[in-house]
Amino acid sequence: MEALKSTPRERVRAVDDWLATRVIGQPALVQRLLMALLCGGHLLVEGAPGLAKTRAIKELAAAVEGDFHRIQFTPDLLPSDITGSEVFRPEDGSFHFQQGPIFHNLILADEVNRAPAKVQSALLEAMAEHQVSIGRRTFRLPELFLVMATQNPIEQEGTYPLPEAQLDRFLLHVNVGYPAAAAEHDILALVRGETLASATVRPPVRLTTDDVFGARHAMLKLHMAKSVETYLVEIVLATREATRYDPEVGAWLEYGASPRGTLALDQLSRAGAWLADRDFVTPDDVRAVAHDALRHRIILSFEAEADGITNDDVIDRLLSRVPAP
């Protein structure tokens, strides 16, 4: 079956179809995970417990030729528990670097907001630089490297919210909700079947590093009309100059998205078009990823928060105001 799927697009589509049968009721999360993998970025996923966040990345890891590790973040975690540390060898009086769990291809940073700032910084520095520095030595992380961090919106007592500047390091911020009733029935059937089955369900193909990087190269070659690129840039500029489009929204915003938001919107809209089997990007591709690409890059004013305005409300209003080509 793998031989029939020779191109990166065919192999990624096969994995996408397989994941849809393994992660029920969360199609947006599955797609965003694939997008993050293809774009070489990381994602922050927020949702209540039990919504298949862990299952999604574990199933993706089964379909990628790389190793997976889950890190449970707790208040007593140390940065060295993430990055690794120097271990003394008494037999020869030397120090040897023992790699931490960050040196895996796919990482689940579970409940990242439960760890103190130093631990969060160690993780986010590794995400941004793709390397870990211990003393005077620097160690490169795997070429294929993806972090999915999760936050639990419930039980905020005793947590350490990620600062806005660190949130900007994530390519995506995905909100996960409850599945529909029909999906809930499918989940029951899936779990019962897994319990009764004697064999492990394997993906039809496994993506290699060459598949992933081949897809990234192909996405960069997709055609994006100048008018679509201008539309993309205008959406980001609107978060900084909202008064130009809507005076009320201007009062809601304290800070707009950085150029990193523009880059994220470009990468993600290309990934969406590529996954949809098109060789060009449309304004709909840009709008489809705008919320996940920008919701963590804008800061609301105190007045907006007091009025119950959310980041998604701001993005909705701006998308309705910025003229599409």
Write down the pLDDT at residue 1. 43
Write down the pLDDT at residue 7. 85
pLDDT in tens, 94-113: 777 888 899 999 999 999 98
Domain-embedded: residue 262: yes
Question: Does the structure show a pLDDT above 50 at 186?
Answer: yes
Write down the pLDDT at residue 156. 63
Where is the domain boundary, 196, 231, 264?
Answer: 196
* Same domain (yes/no): 45, 191: yes
For 29-40, what is the mean pLDDT?
A: 95
Question: Does the structure show a pLDDT above 70 at 26?
Answer: yes
Question: Does the structure show a pLDDT above 70 at 116?
Answer: yes
Question: Does the structure show a pLDDT above 60 at 21?
Answer: yes
Question: Does the structure show a pLDDT above 80 at 118?
Answer: yes
For 291-303, what is the mean pLDDT?
A: 94
| Secondary structure in 3-state letters for 77-108 | CCHHHHHEEEEEECCCCEEEEEECCCCCCEEE
Among candidates 51, 67, 59, which has minimal Cα distance to 107?
67
Residue 46, CA distances (Å) to 53, 217, 264, 272, 292 in order: 9, 30, 19, 21, 11
* Same domain (yes/no): 181, 237: no
* Same domain (yes/no): 185, 242: no
* Same domain (yes/no): 27, 96: yes
Domain-embedded: residue 170: yes
Write down the pLDDT at residue 145. 94
Domain-embedded: residue 286: yes
For 278-284, what is the mean pLDDT?
A: 95
**Contact at 8 Å (CB) between 5 and 205?**
yes
Lowest mean pLDDT among 102-111, 161-170, 298-307: 161-170
* Same domain (yes/no): 112, 28: yes
Write down the pLDDT at residue 91. 79
Residue 39, CA distances (Å) to 42, 108, 145, 274 in order: 9, 17, 11, 11
Q: How many domains, in total, are found in the chain?
A: 2
Write down the pLDDT at residue 214. 92
pLDDT in tens, 36-89: 999 999 999 998 888 999 999 999 999 999 899 999 999 999 999 999 887 877
Question: Does the structure show a pLDDT above 50 at 3?
Answer: no
Write down the pLDDT at residue 158. 62
Q: What residue numbers bound the domain in which 248 lies?
A: 222-321
* Same domain (yes/no): 180, 245: no
Write down the pLDDT at residue 55. 93
* Same domain (yes/no): 272, 177: no
* Same domain (yes/no): 21, 122: yes
Where is the domain boundary, 148, 178, 196?
Answer: 196
Residue 239, CA distances (Å) to 57, 164, 175, 302 in order: 31, 15, 20, 16
Write down the pLDDT at residue 161. 80
- Token pair for 1: 């079956």
Question: Does the structure show a pLDDT above 60 at 5?
Answer: no
Average pLDDT, the chain: 90
Write down the pLDDT at residue 85. 82
Domain-embedded: residue 58: yes
* Same domain (yes/no): 184, 40: yes
Domain-embedded: residue 49: yes
Domain-embedded: residue 131: yes
Write down the pLDDT at residue 40. 93
* Same domain (yes/no): 44, 144: yes
Task: Supply the pTM of this predicted model.
Answer: 0.90
Domain-embedded: residue 2: no
**Residue 239's pLDDT band (cuts 50, 70, 90):** very high
For 199-203, what is the mean pLDDT?
A: 79
* Same domain (yes/no): 233, 296: yes
- Rounded to an integer, what distance in angstroms lies between the CA atom of residue 144 and that of residue 38? 10
Write down the pLDDT at residue 155. 65
Report the CATH number at residue 191: 3.40.50.300
The full DSSP string for 98-154 is EE-TTSSSEEEEETGGGS-HHHHHHHHHHHHHSEEEETTEEEEPPSS-EEEEEE-SS
* Same domain (yes/no): 66, 117: yes
Domain-embedded: residue 216: no
Report the CATH number at residue 248: 1.10.8.80
Question: Does the structure show a pLDDT above 80 at 160?
Answer: no
